[in-house]
Amino acid sequence: MKKFDYVITFACYNQVEYTKQCIDSMIKQGVDLSRVVVVDNNSSDGTRDYLDTLPLGGKIFNKTNLGCGVAWNQGALTLQAEWTIVMNNDILVSENWIENLIETAKRHNVKIISPAMIEGELDYDFDDFSEKSGLKMQNAIRLGSCHAVCLAIHESVWQEIGYFQPIPKLLGYEDALFFHEAKSANIPCAIAGTVWIHHYGSITQTAMKRERGLEQKQDLGNHRYQLSKLKQNWFLRKLNKIKTTKQAKQWREDELKKYEITMLGIRIDDSFKWR
């Protein structure tokens, strides 16, 4: 297998219109689809027919919904590269997103890196926003933080802590466990202000909750089971949450003071809410 500098993978479960927008966004920004592996978790809405029309580097059609962890591992192992970009299927990417993301990771010597992000409705000019905001925050970085909506993972991380936990009933908690393992192994991570994506907002999880008759505020999986996989007692979880909240608040204050925006925003009622 040819060793690319990077490959891209994402999982999908129905929501074909969002997958189309995601792929169209990558094509618009010059992504070679032969570097992309898509794993379908048994969609029933035409997703597979659509994927069959694309010259992808890999297509995996699972017979059942095996969850994100299994799917991400399948994609990462199908094409192997120095950097694997794991992402959602309900995002839009910006110009030079991959190059800037990896370049920033190398400059700051981090092994897991995520782009800055706006979540919510696409009722603004994302291309214009991402260009201007990327220039404004080109030197901004949140060291020690990342998110699973989109992240570039260096190949050394797989060697150090392994892949995502392949347990379907984790139902979306795979990222938290992966980040926990990375932190425990002192693997440096970051969010880069020079790269922006638009995220519609956990479209697949929202649909799965609807299928199960759950309210959106409810957990998709068994929260006690998920937390048990962290192997942390209540006190440590509480302490870490306090530290994380305090650090996020400090980043927000510093970025607003310097840039008038932050790396994480939500689009609500035709305006941005920064966090």
Domain boundaries, the chain: 4-274
Ranges of residues in the chain whose predicted pLDDT is under 50: 1-2
pLDDT number for residue 230: 79
Which residues, 6 or more positions from 190, have their beta carbon under 8 angstroms from its beta carbon?
Answer: 104, 105, 108, 110, 112, 113, 114, 141, 142, 143, 144, 145, 146
User: Contact at 8 Å (CB) between 87 and 18?
Assistant: no
Dmax (CA) of the chain: 51
pLDDT at position 231, please? 78
From the number of C-beta atoms within 10 Å of its C-beta (0-12, 13-18, 19+), residue 101 rates as: buried
Predicted confidence at residue 207, as pLDDT, reads: 67
Convert 29-42 to b/e letters by CB count within 10 Å (16 or more is b).
Answer: eebeeebbbbbbbe
Question: What pLDDT is attached to residue 90?
Answer: 96
Residue type, 13: Y
pLDDT attached to residue 170: 85
pLDDT, position 85? 98
* Among 7, 77, 16, 86, CA closest to 47: 16
What's the pTM?
0.93
The closest of 41, 275, 46, 68 to 164, measured between CA atoms, is 68
- Read off the pLDDT of residues 193-213 as tens digits, 9 standing for 90 and up: 999 999 998 767 676 666 667
Which option is the CATH number for 4-274: 3.40.718.10, 2.60.120.560, 3.90.550.10, 1.20.58.60? 3.90.550.10
Residue 6: predicted pLDDT: 95
What kind and span of H or E run contains 38?
Answer: strand 36-40
Report pLDDT digits (tens) over 16-67.
999 999 999 999 999 999 999 999 999 999 999 999 999 999 999 999 999 9
